[in-house]
Amino acid sequence: MEDKAKKYRLLKDDFRYMDVGGRKRKVYHIVYDRYVTNPSKDRYQVKPGDLGGWIENESCLSHDGECMILGDSVVCGYSRVSDNGLVVDSTVVDSRVNGDSMVIDRSVLSGNSETRMKAYISNSKLDRSRVTDDVIVMNGSDVKSCWFAYNLVVDNSKIDSRIYMSAINMYVYHGQLMNMHDYDQITYEEAMKRGRR
């Protein structure tokens, strides 16, 4: 790939060390070299010269697609942000953010976790987990060793088990599973709004 086609570059003189699992990692600030607008999340866009987040190396953020790392985000290890994935003020360690997924608001992905399709992670932790297909994990949830798919909302819950949950319009609140329509008639769109506060 030619340099002029690259989306961003590492600022080699603007770096910091991050302690991850007892191992220090050197991460570099990035600066965007072209306009990038995340199509499914149009409020997030950058222009040439805008600073992005911090990455350990160029394999952490694809130059293809409209993926972005913004704010004080750190992406390191064998992590990869690609497609239209978006990471804002969060940490991604040895995990993947792809499709149209969002990881925002001090969220942490680790342990080979993956978000894809239209997953939305806000102020939560994922460890050794997969979240896909319009699933929202929000409000301080802590999810370990799980696979969630299809219109599920996990709100303020701690789930530490080896489960695969594929639910249509289900809501997990404080660890209890309920139908979205039984919980204040909450809709998927309302859950998205609640997660963005």
Please state the rounded mean pLDDT for residues 140-157: 88
Check whether residue 11 and residue 94 sit in a common domain. Answer: yes
**Which of residues 116, 142, 166 is at a domain's end?**
116
For residue 137, is pLDDT > 50? Answer: yes
Which residue would you say has higher pLDDT here, 165 or 179?
A: 165
Check whether residue 78 and residue 150 sit in a common domain. Answer: no
Check whether residue 11 and residue 89 sit in a common domain. Answer: yes
Half-sphere exposure of 189 (CA within 13 A, CB side): 0
Supply φ then ψ for residue 117, to 5 degrees.
Answer: 55, -125
DSSP string, 173-196: ETTEEEEGGGSTT--HHHHHHHHT
Check whether residue 32 and residue 9 sit in a common domain. Answer: yes
The rounded mean pLDDT for the chain is 85
Residue 34 DSSP label: S
Q: Which helix (H) or strand (E) element contains residue 69?
A: strand 68-70
Name the pLDDT band for 101 (thresholds 50, 70, 90). very high
Note the pLDDT of residue 114: 96
Task: Report how far residue 31's alpha carbon sits from residue 46's, in angstroms, rounded to the nearest whole number.
Answer: 10
Q: How many domains does the chain have?
A: 2
CATH number at residue 102: 2.160.10
| Per-residue model confidence as pLDDT tens digits over 26-76 | 999 999 999 999 876 557 899 999 999 999 999 999 999 999 999 999 999
Task: Report how far residue 5's alpha carbon sits from residue 84's, in angstroms, rounded to the nearest whole number.
Answer: 17
Check whether residue 41 and residue 93 sit in a common domain. Answer: yes
Note the pLDDT of residue 182: 44
Percent of the chain past pLDDT 90, that is, above it, reads 63
Name the pLDDT band for 181 (thresholds 50, 70, 90). very low
What range defines the domain where residue 168 resides? 123-197
Count the residues in the chain: 197
151 is written with which tokens?
A: 């219109």
Task: Confirm if 180 and 171 have CB atoms less than 8 A apart.
Answer: yes
For residue 22, is pLDDT > 90? Answer: no
**Which of residues 116, 145, 173 is at a domain's end?**
116
Check whether residue 72 and residue 105 sit in a common domain. Answer: yes
Check whether residue 5 and residue 45 sit in a common domain. Answer: yes
**Which of residues 82, 99, 116 is at a domain's end?**
116
In one-letter notation, the amino acid at residue 123 is: N
Check whether residue 101 and residue 153 sit in a common domain. Answer: no
Check whether residue 1 and residue 90 sit in a common domain. Answer: yes
Check whether residue 101 and residue 185 sit in a common domain. Answer: no
Check whether residue 110 and residue 171 sit in a common domain. Answer: no
Check whether residue 101 and residue 149 sit in a common domain. Answer: no
Candidates 84, 66, 77; CA nearest to 113 is 77
Which residue would you say has higher pLDDT here, 177 or 120?
A: 120
Q: Which helix (H) or strand (E) element contains residue 136?
A: strand 136-138
Task: Report how far residue 135's alpha carbon sits from residue 162's, in angstroms, rounded to the nearest whole number.
Answer: 17
